[in-house]
Amino acid sequence: MQEFLTAAQSFPAVLFSAALVVVIAFWLLVLAGAADHHSFDADLDTGLAGIGGVPVTVSVSVMVAVGWFSALTGSVLLHRGHTTGTLRAALAFGVLVGALLIAWAVVRLLVHHFRRFFADQPPPSRQDFLGRVCTIRTGSVGTDFGQAEVAAADGSTAIVQVRQLAPADDALSAGSPGLLYAYDEAGEFFWVSPYDRALDPGPPPPLPRTNRRTPPRRTA
């Protein structure tokens, strides 16, 4: 046990030990509901390293765990070798490089086999609001001003900028429903048209069940 603790607190295993403590603390927060395991997916791009396609937090966690175990094994062997001086420093640096390479290779192999189990979801975009019904939140909507509230597919709502081509013909006011039919990339606003909820047929009604009875057999 003492040999294990000494190796874990020595270079290079101590670097992975500190990272492993952070990883464990993060997953404890995820289990407690205080953090989301997709928190860093939008900030890091691991595709160039060959480990993309799965959540970044999962890839990094596995890499830290494998690197820690590899570095710990190498550190134990260094202590048993009783090397000192420059040779020991060179061997310790070699253990560090080897642990990083082993961790990267293991994670890349696991990602290659398990990537298909993680759905590749595109990032949210304003284009997702096209075709949705919104509610006007300003007193009027013109060619240069207007705001509306629209609900996303996940149930969240957002306030977006809207414009109307011909407000004089069919004016939109606060509380009126509108249909977002186009998006202007340069102006960062949606083109909106009046929408009559009464004309929306809605989903088709379910077909009625028919009870087919087998006709009685005629007996001679």
In this predicted structure, the answer to whether residue 122 has a pLDDT above a threshold of 70 is: no
pLDDT for 31 equals: 84
- Residues linked to residue 158 through DSSP beta bridges, in sequence order: 150
Q: Lowest-confidence range among 7-16, 33-42, 59-68, 134-143?
A: 33-42
| Calpha distance 13→75 (Å, rounded) | 7
> Look-up: residue for tokens 């094994």?
73
How would residue 182 be classed by pLDDT, with cut points 50, 70 and 90?
A: very high
Q: How confident is the model at residue 102 (pLDDT cuts 50, 70, 90)?
A: very high
Sketch the domain layout of the chain as residue ranges: 2-117, 126-196
Of 52-56, 125-129, 179-183, 213-217, least confident by mean pLDDT is 213-217
Instruction: Give the per-residue pLDDT at 119.
Output: 54
Tell me what percent of the residues of the chain surpass a pLDDT of 90: 25
Has residue 39 got a pLDDT over 70? no
Question: Is the pLDDT score of 9 beyond 60?
Answer: yes
The band of 217, judged by pLDDT with boundaries at 50, 70 and 90, is low
Q: What pLDDT is stored for residue 124 in this prediction?
A: 59
Please tell me the distance from the alpha carbon of residue 138 to that of residue 173, in angstroms, as a whole number. 7
Span 126-196: which CATH code? 2.40.50.140
Identify which of 124, 126, 125, 151 has the alpha carbon closest to the alpha carbon of residue 137. Answer: 151
Say which residues have a Cβ less than 8 Å from residue 220's Cβ, sequence separation at least 6. none
Residue 169's alpha-carbon distances to 57, 130, 142, 152, in angstroms, are 53, 23, 11, 29
Does residue 170 surpass a pLDDT of 70? Answer: no
Tokens of 70: 């590899």
Please, which residues bridge with residue 162 across strands? Answer: 190
The mean pLDDT of the chain is: 78
Angle at 84 between CA 97 and CA 103, to 5 degrees: 15
What's the pTM? 0.50
The stretch 194-205 carries a mean pLDDT of 63
Rounded alpha-carbon distances, angstroms, from residue 98 to 21, 87, 92, 102, 207: 21, 16, 10, 6, 65
* Contact assessment for residue 118 and residue 35, using Cβ atoms and an 8 Å cutoff: no
* Residue 43 confidence (pLDDT): 41
Helix, coil or strand: residue 172: coil
Between the ranges 30-39, 176-185, 209-218, where is the mean pLDDT highest? 176-185
